[in-house]
Chains A and B, each alone.
Chain A
Amino acid sequence: MHSSISISSKRPRRVLPGFGLSLGFTLSYLGLIVLIPLTLVFFKSTGLGFTGFWKVLSSDRVQSAFRLTFGLSALAGLLNGVFGFLVAWVLVRYQFPGRKLLDAAVDLPFAMPTAVAGIALTGLYAPNGWIGSKLAPLGIKVAFAPLGILLALTFIGLPFVVRTLQPVLEDLESAQEEAAASLGANRWETFRRVIFPPLLPALVTGSTLAFARAVGEYGSVVFIAGNKPGKTEIVPLLIMTKLEQFDYAGATALASLMLAISFVLLLFLNFLQRKTSLSRRSS
């Protein structure tokens, strides 16, 4: 505790070396690589003026892309909340053969390049694929339909919820559960009233992370989406298309809106994570 106080004053003198050097390097790197280019996105889109900006955003194609992207990302976040919770719970609470292998496999969506995930899922769920061919007679179309996009977005977001929940689940004290049981609560009551509440912030954090990742996702979606304008075209793909058509103004307008949303999500996540770490410390 003491060392943290002793360096927090406004005193010019710092005992550990390298403050100026490491701060200077960090800030220049961030500035050159990230901040200046990103600021340019906003700057360029102001050149469009409000009417130009609105003209880009109000087109049917753009609006349906936004609806599709955010609707499916939210759904993917929710699905990940449910499945991620199930997986984290089972991996932390139960012992069974193959548990360690599955635990490691949870990181596959992080470790596999998105394009690889994209073609693998497309291959499986296309009407002639292993799974797609079983679903086609039932009238379920996955690949080249919104359902396929949802599948890809859920795939890439799964690790977020599991990895956010796992440490919190591991930290839960069994004494609290035992106390609940000794007070006459059954398993379900104990889960609902004692176990679940402290997990909620982490669950929301994980789902929001998955949502944020899904909103910007490109690689795994382009293959499976089919990319029909107005039907299965997501915003990142639309930006890409506009770039390929040399419509830089349109692409920049979309990008600046996406960027603004990213900032908001980041702030929200920051707030959530502070809350999670607080509740973890106090429990």
Chain B
Amino acid sequence: MSPVSRSTQDPLWTRLLLIGAAVFFLVLFLLVPLFSIFAEAFKKGVALYFEALTEENARSAVLLTLTVAAITVPFNALFGVAAAWVIAKFEFRGKSLLLALIDLPFAVSPVVSGLCYILVFGANGVLGPWLQAHDIRIIFALPGMVLATIFVTFPFVARELIPLMQAQGSDQEYAALSLGASGWQTFRRVTLPNIKWALFYGIILCNARAMGEFGAVSVVSGHIRGETNTLPLHVEVLYNDYNMVAAFACASMLSLLGLVTLLLKTFIEWRTGLRHRHS
């Protein structure tokens, strides 16, 4: 930002008052809760903290969370690249409708997105009887949780790539084609290097949300301990059991994930000089 000239500088007392109010608000509202998670988690000592994290149900919850994310994120990254390519590089009828559809998960309640899979795959769902006859479990099992997570997190990569690719235009791709490159070579050697940071950024956000998703997964998980509980669901179970130290210990792991995400995000913004818009 350019230095503010005197005529547009606010008086000192205004500045101090506003800065003070904002800092107080942010600290109270954001930093104190974050701090309290770690404080509660370590309340009864380090030993109990690590015991809570290494206990069997916690370990299987971590494993399930990682599994869900490991399936969800690549799919959504692929979707994000395809959607951004078609939206940024081509004109076609219904493009703005497609753009609006991509935003849908931001407006739909996670509980509703979970519910719609129950209507498809649940025991009373459209495909329920057929699935039962073939002994395929989707709801209250991994596939359902993956689907619900995909639903909630699919816009993240696309939302990062679309504005960037629109701003970059297509001249470099045209140049590559006129130099004899094939479509795939053009994408891999020209487009991909140009979007790699935004792609990484989108993947990080998508991953954070996928690992932390609660509502949608809660609907389709069935809460079977040690089997269909992801880490956030495990936190709920522990909390409802009044096992506060364990609940906050697991929550602190998820908070660490959030903090690492923020750190990487800030790093990318610094590295690329990009200031990102959020949705």
Binding site for B on A (CB under 8 A): 3-4, 7-8, 14-19, 21-23, 25-27, 29-30, 33-38, 40-41, 44, 83, 86-87, 89-94, 96, 98, 102, 104-117, 119-121, 123-124, 130-131, 154-155, 158-160, 163-164, 166-167, 170, 174, 177-178, 181-182, 187, 190, 209, 212-213, 215-219, 222-223, 235-237, 239-240, 243, 248, 251-252, 255, 258-259, 262-263, 265-267, 269-270
A218 and B109 contacting across the interface, CB-CB below 8 Å: yes
CB of A240 to closest CB in B, whole Å: 6
Chain A residues near B8 (CB, 8 Å)? 174, 177-178, 181, 190
Bitwise interface map of B from 68 to 93 toward A, beta carbon under 8 Å scored 1, else 0: 00000000001100110110011110
Are A262 and B111 closer than 8 Å at their CB atoms? Answer: no
Q: State how many angstroms separate the Cβ of A175 from the closest Cβ of chain B.
A: 9
Total count of chain B residues near the partner, CB < 8 A: 107
Cβ-defined partner of B83 (8 Å) among A26, A111, A116: A26
A248 contacts across to B, CB distance below 8 A: 118-119, 122, 124
A16 near B89: Cβ-Cβ < 8 Å: yes
- Nearest Cβ in chain B — how far from A221, in angstroms? 10
Which B residues contact A (CB, under 8 angstroms)? Answer: 1-2, 4-5, 7-8, 10-11, 14-15, 18-19, 21-23, 25-26, 29-34, 36-37, 40, 78-79, 82-83, 85-86, 89-92, 96, 98, 100-113, 115-120, 122, 124, 126, 147, 150-151, 154, 169-171, 173-174, 177, 182-184, 186-187, 205, 208, 211-215, 218-219, 232-233, 235-236, 239, 244, 247-248, 251, 254-255, 257-259, 261-262, 265-266, 275, 277-279
A26 x B183 contact (CB < 8 A): no
Interface of A is mostly: helix
Of chain B, the residue at the smallest CB distance from A20 is B86
From known contacts A23-B92, A240-B219, A255-B112, infer whether A18 and B85 are also in contact, taking CB-CB under 8 Å.
yes
A113 touches B30 (CB 8 A): no
In the complex, which residues of chain A have a beta carbon less than 8 angstroms from the beta carbon of B105?
A: 34
Can you give 10 A-B contacts (C-beta < 8 A)? Answer: A3-B170, A16-B174, A16-B186, A25-B78, A106-B30, A120-B37, A166-B275, A177-B7, A178-B7, A266-B103
Known: A116-B235, A209-B279, A258-B112. A121 touches B33 (CB 8 A): yes
Alpha-carbon gap, A96 to B30, bound state (A): 18
User: Could you say which of B96, B101, B258, B275 contacts A30, with CB atoms under 8 Å apart?
Assistant: B101
Closest B residue to A223 by beta carbon equals: B239
Question: Are A262 and B90 CB-contacts (below 8 A) given A22-B82, A34-B151?
Answer: no
Q: CA separation between A216 and B98, bound complex, in Å?
A: 22
Smallest beta-carbon distance B150→chain A, Å: 6
A266 touches B232 (CB 8 A): no
Chain B residues with CB under 8 A of A218:
109-111, 214-215, 218
User: Closest residue of chain B to A170, judged by CB?
Assistant: B1
Once A90-B19, A163-B277 are accepted as A-B contacts, the answer to whether A116 and B251 lie under 8 Å apart by CB is: yes
Contact of A108 among B79, B186, B235, B262 (CB under 8 A): B262
